[in-house]
Amino acid sequence: MITKAIAPDAAPPASGAYSPALRVGDWVFVSGQRGISPSTGLLQVGTAHREAQRALLNIAALLQAAGASVDQIVSVDVCMSDLSLLPELDRAFEEFFDAPLPARTVMQAVLQDGAKVQISCVAYCGR
C-alpha cells in the first residue's frame, strides 16, 4: 500500500516531527489542526467557534490536496481546552458539515499555544 505525505501551502505546516496528513490507499488521516492561519502561521485568537472554523478550513485544504473532500470524513477527534465551550464547536460543525455528520469524540486537554480547539479526522475515499 502506498503512503503519501500531504502538506500543502494552503494549510499550516507541521509544528513538529509529524505529517499534517497522510493518504494511505483509500484513507486520509489528518493530524490535529488548530485555528492557525496558513498565511501568518499564527493562532487566530478569539472564540472557540472561530478557532474551530479555521481548523476545519485547514482540514478541508489538507483533504483537497490528498484528492478527498470534507464529505468523505467518517470520524473526527476533538480536543478542547474547556468542555463548556462545546456549544461553540457544535455551531462550527453545523455550519461546516452536511448530514450525515461524522462520528465524533471530544475530550478536554491542555493545547499548545493556548488554543481552545484542535481537530483531527479520518476520511475514506474509496468507492
Residue 66 CB burial class (10 angstroms; 0-12, 13-18, ≥19): buried
DSSP 8-state secondary structure symbol assigned to residue 53: H
Residue-wise pLDDT tens digits, 54-107: 999 999 999 999 999 999 999 999 999 999 999 999 999 999 999 999 999 999
Give the pLDDT of residue 8.
82
Tally of structural domains, the chain? 1
Give the pLDDT of residue 121.
98
> Mean pLDDT in the chain?
94
Give the pLDDT of residue 127.
73
The dihedral built from the CA positions of residue 5, 123, 38 and 106, taken in this order, carries a sign that is negative
Q: What is the CATH number of the domain that holds 106?
A: 3.30.1330.40
Q: What is the pTM of this model?
A: 0.95
What the block records as the C-alpha cell of 96 is: 461546516
Give the pLDDT of residue 1.
67
HSE toward the beta carbon, residue 30, CA cutoff 13 A: 36
Query: Domain limits at 97?
Result: 3-124
